[in-house]
């Protein structure tokens, strides 16, 4: 029997959904266990960082890394696993493009800490205590990871071979990717794997009639017609700027696509492209300013999953660097 | 003189029977429409009054063979000024409809869909102000797919669809993404330190092709200092917000987008679409903690001569003030 593949699975700044997504492959997990030996998976089994540190460099065949890089611990483990792994996979939207944690980049470290430790109504912090990276107590020195100013994607911290989008990646795609890894049939490095072709609309069965939008509404404000394209009902759907591959669970639950599979090939900024499409389909009779008002939280709506990996983020880092 | 053999005395009745052609005979050739029309700038041959006269005289072949009949963009600048209340763009459309039935075609160029890449999302159909796009079902490699199709007799090459298409599957060749990017970057404007005046802000301007009426106003576009770069696009609706973000992330200090006043837009809806895009983009910059005044959008009326250079210089001055150490906020 061929030697088993040596696997690691890690979570950085993530919700844990990506670890569950691996378990969602169901009975196929037995096939994975047959083909692979798991040497590190903190969400599922008891491992310590020192177990990884003890491994020789490049001794892991594959690391599935989920979660974005929010603090120095995330970065430390990303570098450690990179050194130990032949193939690094940014697994899930957080590692790939920043995802929901990445929306924190609308603000900054100082404002987040002030809000969380001083301003929330349930906080009682008269002493004004703030988290410190080092603290001396009689028992010895205590350390906490440093909270960064911004959330970064995995590829912004270490070189990455493959990207698997999705919040979380759907089970069928996870299994596709695992099978490709087991069979040694991965495409050339740099590829986005576990996806379809083109965008969601290409596969979507909803009827499109060219109807222009008189009023934008949020999903909770109406009961959407389950047959018609969301956009034509004034409900912002990220399908046009989202890579196919998820099988459209949201669309089938009568909810618009939120864009978690990231931009299709060739789209450099998912948010700006969605904005460009959405504001082009407005009805000639509608008032532009009213339409603008109807889009509540534009940054969150258009950049829900892709902010740290966007051109907008690069513009911000350039400006912050100048200050 | 036209050849009497080719004169079709029934032509005027045919046009008047067509929807939109009813009021042909009201025209008394005052020429007000011609004086309002912006198309004359790109083609001195375009002359609605003469076309109407030729229809009345039955010069059917001459009318249809003249490529200018396809140039009316239905901006309707002329309509409110016609003392006889003729809706000239509707009349031009009636003429075009008959021409199409006779087998004539607009000479182009028009928007082109890359069917390989098109997803059939139908965003472009909703975006086009002229109803020039629609979805058709085609078979590719044995698989049925819906793709967008251009009606070349209706497309006015405004480029609104090209900015709207999420996959860049539809292109107006002369103003393709690649050509716009090349214009922005020409002579190393973004990358060569030599192109950057030390201590001076860089300002990128997108102007539409129609908001400046007089030659002298348009000539002023070429006389800005080198830290201002003006890109002329057919319509402000052609400006993809991605162009703006690419400029900002490359270190450009500000972007000014200028279109026509609503109701005067050469492509009917372009300036409204641009307004919506720019307003949302400004809000996003603000939410992101960036200075939203770095992106400005203005709508210039056809009568507002000379306002444009002042707007550019004002924005340049404002950007410069931002750069003063005292005004840099943490
Ligand atoms: S916009 Fe959304 S609802 Fe409409 S076709 Fe695309 S994926 Fe389907
Ligand atoms: S429909 Fe959109 S948001 Fe929903 S799973 Fe698919 S890509 Fe993600
Ligand atoms: S917007 Fe683009 S992808 Fe969508 S139907 Fe039109 S050409 Fe095709
Ligand atoms: S270029 Fe303008 S007129 Fe032509 S198809 Fe596109 S949106 Fe319509």
Q: What is the pLDDT of residues B29-87, one digit of tens each?
A: 888 888 888 887 788 888 888 888 888 888 888 888 887 788 888 888 888 888 888 89
- pLDDT of the residue at A197: 83
Window 125-144 of B: residues touching A by CB (8 A cutoff) are 125-127, 129, 134-135
CB contacts of B134 in chain A (<8 Å) are: 210
Record: contact A291-B276, CB cut-off 8 A: yes
Q: What is the pLDDT of residues A193-214, one digit of tens each?
A: 999 889 999 999 999 999 999 9
| DSSP letter (8 states) at residue A118 | I
Average pLDDT over residues B11-23: 86
Edge-to-edge strand list for the sheet holding A60-66: A36-40, A5-11, A60-66, A85-91, A162-164
**Distance (Å, rounded) from C-alpha A185 to C-alpha A176?**
11
Q: Confidence class of residue B106 from pLDDT cuts 50, 70 and 90?
A: confident
- CA of residue B28 to ligand 1 center, whole Å: 51
Average pLDDT over residues B256-261: 94
- pLDDT of the residue at B177: 95
Q: Three-class SS of residue A181?
A: helix
Residues 6+ positions from A7 with CB-CB distance below 8 Å: A36, A37, A38, A39, A41, A60, A61, A62, A63, A64
- pLDDT of the residue at B94: 87
Q: Confidence class of residue B297 from pLDDT cuts 50, 70 and 90?
A: very high
- pLDDT of the residue at B194: 63
Rounded (to 5) percent helix, strand, coil in chain A: 40, 20, 45
**Distance (Å, rounded) from C-alpha B200 to C-alpha A171?**
54
**Distance (Å, rounded) from C-alpha B38 to C-alpha B40?**
5
First to last CA, chain B: 75
Whose atoms come closest to the Cα of A270: which ligand?
2
Record: contact A276-B120, CB cut-off 8 A: no
ipTM score assigned to the predicted complex: 0.95
Mean pLDDT (chain B, rounded): 89
Query: Nearest 5°: phi and psi at B61?
Result: -60, -45
Q: What is the pLDDT of residues B184-236, one digit of tens each?
A: 999 889 887 666 777 889 999 999 988 887 778 888 888 899 999 999 999 99
Query: Nearest 5°: phi and psi at A8?
Result: -135, 145
Which residue lies with its CA nearest to atom 2 of ligand 3? Answer: B165
Residue among A234, A213, A231 nearest A284 (CA):
A213
- pLDDT of the residue at B328: 58
**Distance (Å, rounded) from C-alpha B127 to C-alpha B155?**
12
- The response to whether residue B165 sits with its C-beta less than 6 Å from ligand 3 reads yes
Interface test with B, best of A213, A279, A289 (most B CBs within 10 A): A279
**Distance (Å, rounded) from C-alpha A133 to C-alpha B6?**
92
Record: contact A271-B167, CB cut-off 8 A: no
**Distance (Å, rounded) from C-alpha A279 to C-alpha A153?**
29
**pLDDT at residue B1 is higher than 60:** no
Residue among A15, A18, A1 nearest A177 (CA):
A18
- pLDDT of the residue at A312: 98
- pLDDT of the residue at B330: 43
**pLDDT at residue A95 is higher than 90:** yes
**Distance (Å, rounded) from C-alpha B132 to C-alpha B124?**
9
- pLDDT of the residue at A295: 97
Residues 6+ positions from B125 with CB-CB distance below 8 Å: A208, A210, B133, B134, B135, B148
Per DSSP, helices labelled H in A26-170 are 28-35, 49-53, 72-84, 93-97, 109-114
Average pLDDT over residues B3-8: 73
Question: Tokens standing for A191?
Answer: 């590829």
- pLDDT of the residue at B16: 82
Residues 6+ positions from B315 with CB-CB distance below 8 Å: B203, B254, B256, B296
A244 CB burial (10 A radius; 0-12, 13-18, 19+): buried
Q: How many beta carbons lie within 10 A of that of residue A35, not counting itself? A: 17
Q: What is the pLDDT of residues A249-259, one digit of tens each?
A: 999 999 999 99
Residue among A65, A88, A63, A92 nearest A170 (CA):
A92
Instruction: Among A231, A273, A319, select the one facing B290 at the smallest CB separation.
Output: A319
- pLDDT of the residue at B326: 63
Question: Tokens standing for B13?
Answer: 């009745």
- pLDDT of the residue at B18: 85
Q: What is the pLDDT of residues A21-74, one digit of tens each?
A: 999 999 999 999 999 999 999 999 888 999 999 999 999 999 999 999 999 999
Instruction: Among B127, B251, B280, select the one facing A292 at the smallest CB separation.
Output: B280
Average pLDDT over residues B137-163: 94
Q: Which domains does chain A have, with CATH numbers?
A: 5-100+149-183 (3.40.50.700), 112-148 (no CATH), 200-309 (no CATH)
- pLDDT of the residue at B3: 63
* Cα separation values, A279 from A211, A214, B126, B323, Å: 14, 11, 10, 32
- pLDDT of the residue at B57: 87
Query: Nearest 5°: phi and psi at B284?
Result: -65, -45
**pLDDT at residue B325 is higher than 80:** no
More confident: B187 or A232: A232
- CA of residue A13 to ligand 4 center, whole Å: 44
Residues in a beta bridge with A163: A90, A192
Helix (H) or strand (E) holding B249: helix B241-249
- pLDDT of the residue at B327: 62
- CA of residue B126 to ligand 1 center, whole Å: 13
More confident: A49 or B1: A49
Lowest mean pLDDT among A281-290, A299-308, B24-33: B24-33
- pLDDT of the residue at B2: 54
Q: How many beta carbons lie within 10 A of that of residue A48, not counting itself? A: 10
Average pLDDT over residues A92-116: 97
Residues in a beta bridge with B296: B256
| DSSP letter (8 states) at residue A116 | I
Q: What is the pLDDT of residues B89-98, one digit of tens each?
A: 888 888 888 8
Ligand 4 pocket test target in B125, B147, B159 with most atoms within 8 Å of CB: B159
Average pLDDT over residues A2-10: 91
Would you list the DSSP string of B273-316? HHHHHHHHHHHHHHHTTS-GGGEEEEEE-TT-TTHHHHHHHHHH
- pLDDT of the residue at A2: 64
Q: Show the 3-state SS of B90-146.
A: HHHHHHHHHHHHCCCCCCCCCCEECCCCCCCCCHHHHHCCCCCEEEEEEEECCEEEE
Q: Which domains does chain B have, with CATH numbers?
A: 4-101 (1.10.1060.10), 108-171 (3.30.70.20), 176-327 (3.40.50)
Helices A171-182, A28-35: crossing angle, 10 deg rounding? 20
**Distance (Å, rounded) from C-alpha B43 to C-alpha B268?**
20
Residue among A65, A42, A74 nearest A146 (CA):
A74
Q: What is the pLDDT of residues A155-173, one digit of tens each?
A: 999 999 999 999 999 999 9
Question: Tokens standing for A115?
Answer: 């809000």
Nearest ligand 3 atom to alpha carbon B161: 1
CB contacts of B122 in chain A (<8 Å) are: 201, 208, 210, 229
B257 CB burial (10 A radius; 0-12, 13-18, 19+): buried
Chain A: residue nearest B329 by CA? Answer: A323
Question: Tokens standing for B308?
Answer: 């444009």
- pLDDT of the residue at B5: 63
CA dihedral A113, A115, A117, A122 (to 10 degrees): -160
Sign of the torsion formed by the C-alpha atoms of B35, B38, B39 and B42: positive
- pLDDT of the residue at B98: 87
More confident: A300 or B263: A300
Q: How many beta carbons lie within 10 A of that of residue B260, not counting itself? A: 27
Q: How many beta carbons lie within 10 A of that of residue B163, not counting itself? A: 34
- pLDDT of the residue at A161: 97
**Distance (Å, rounded) from C-alpha B296 to C-alpha A56?**
56
Helix (H) or strand (E) holding B51: helix B48-56
Q: Confidence class of residue B152 from pLDDT cuts 50, 70 and 90?
A: very high
pTM above 0.80, yes or no: yes
Lowest mean pLDDT among A57-66, A231-240, A292-301, B81-90: B81-90
Record: contact B160-A280, CB cut-off 8 A: yes
Instruction: Among A280, A299, A323, select the one facing B288 at the smallest CB separation.
Output: A299
B245 CB burial (10 A radius; 0-12, 13-18, 19+): buried
**Distance (Å, rounded) from C-alpha A181 to C-alpha B194?**
49
Sign of the torsion formed by the C-alpha atoms of B118, B124, B128 and B130: positive
Q: What is the pLDDT of residues A267-276, one digit of tens each?
A: 999 999 999 9
- pLDDT of the residue at B247: 95
> How many Å lie between the alpha carbon of B36 and the closest alpha carbon of chain A?
23
Residue among A272, A268, A265, A267 nearest A301 (CA):
A272
**Distance (Å, rounded) from C-alpha B93 to C-alpha A252?**
43
Q: Three-class SS of residue A254?
A: coil
Mean pLDDT (chain A, rounded): 95
Say if residues A165 and A195 touch (Cβ distance below 8 Å): yes
């Amino acid at each position: 029997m061929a030697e088993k593949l040596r696997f690691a699975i890690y979570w950085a700044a993530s919700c844990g959904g990506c670890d569950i997504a691996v378990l969602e492959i169901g009975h196929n997990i037995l096939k994975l266990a047959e083909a692979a030996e798991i040497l590190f998976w903190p969400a599922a089994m008891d491992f310590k960082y020192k177990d990884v540190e003890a491994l020789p460099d490049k001794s892991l065949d594959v690391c599935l890394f989920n979660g974005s890089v929010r603090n120095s611990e995330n970065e430390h483990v990303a570098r450690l696993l990179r050194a130990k792994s032949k193939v690094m996979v940014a697994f899930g939207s957080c590692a790939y493009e920043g995802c929901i944690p990445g929306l924190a980049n609308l603000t900054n470290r100082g404002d987040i800490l002030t809000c969380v430790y001083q301003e929330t109504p349930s906080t009682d912090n008269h002493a004004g205590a703030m988290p410190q990276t080092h603290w001396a107590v009689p028992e010895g020195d205590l350390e906490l990871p440093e909270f960064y100013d911004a959330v970064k994607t995995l590829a912004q911290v270490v070189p990455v071979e493959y990207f698997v989008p999705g919040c979380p990646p759907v089970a069928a795609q996870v299994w596709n990717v695992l099978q490709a890894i087991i069979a040694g049939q991965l495409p050339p490095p740099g590829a986005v794997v576990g996806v379809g072709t083109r965008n969601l609309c290409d596969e979507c069965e909803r009827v499109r009639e060219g109807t222009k939008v008189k009023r934008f509404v949020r999903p909770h404000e109406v009961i959407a017609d389950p047959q018609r394209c969301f956009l034509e009902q004034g409900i912002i759907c990220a399908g046009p700027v989202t890579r196919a591959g998820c099988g459209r669970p949201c669309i089938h639950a009568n909810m618009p696509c939120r864009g978690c599979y990231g931009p299709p090939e060739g789209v450099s900024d998912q948010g700006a492209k969605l904005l460009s499409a959405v504001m082009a389909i407005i009805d000639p009779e509608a008032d532009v300013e009213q339409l603008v008002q109807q889009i509540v939280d534009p940054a969150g709506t258009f950049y829900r999953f892709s902010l740290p990996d966007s051109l907008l983020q690069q513009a911000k880092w350039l400006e912050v660097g100048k200050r | 003189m036209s050849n009497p053999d080719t004169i079709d005395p029934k032509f005027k009745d045919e046009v008047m029977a067509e929807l939109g052609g009813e009021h042909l005979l009201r025209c008394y050739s005052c020429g007000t429409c011609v004086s309002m029309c912006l198309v004359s700038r790109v083609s001195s041959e375009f002359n609605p009054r003469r076309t109407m006269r030729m229809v009345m005289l039955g010069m059917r072949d001459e009318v249809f063979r003249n490529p200018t009949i396809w140039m009316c963009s239905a901006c309707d600048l002329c309509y409110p000024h016609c003392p006889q209340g003729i809706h000239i763009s509707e009349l031009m459309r009636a003429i075009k409809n008959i021409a199409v039935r006779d087998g004539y075609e607009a000479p182009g160029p028009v928007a082109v869909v890359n069917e390989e890449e098109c997803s059939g999302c139908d965003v472009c159909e909703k975006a086009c102000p002229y109803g020039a796009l629609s979805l058709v079902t085609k078979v590719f490699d044995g698989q049925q797919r819906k793709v967008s199709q251009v009606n070349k007799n209706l497309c006015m090459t405004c480029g609104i669809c090209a900015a709207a298409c999420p996959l860049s599957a539809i292109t107006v060749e002369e103003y393709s993404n690649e050509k716009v990017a090349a214009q922005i970057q020409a002579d190393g404007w973004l990358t060569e330190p030599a192109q950057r005046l030390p201590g001076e802000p860089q300002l990128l301007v997108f102007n539409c092709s129609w908001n400046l009426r007089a030659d002298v106003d348009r000539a002023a576009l070429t006389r800005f200092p080198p830290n201002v770069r003006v890109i002329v696009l057919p319509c402000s609706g052609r400006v993809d917000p991605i162009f703006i973000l690419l400029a900002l992330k490359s270190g450009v200090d500000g972007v000014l987008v200028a279109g026509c006043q609503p109701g005067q837009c050469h492509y009917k809806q372009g300036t409204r679409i641009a307004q919506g895009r720019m307003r949302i983009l400004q809000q996003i910059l603000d939410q992101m903690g960036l200075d939203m005044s770095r992106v400005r959008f203005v709508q210039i009326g056809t009568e507002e001569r000379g306002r444009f250079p002042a707007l550019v210089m004002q924005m340049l001055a404002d950007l410069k003030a931002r750069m003063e150490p005292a005004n840099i906020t943490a």
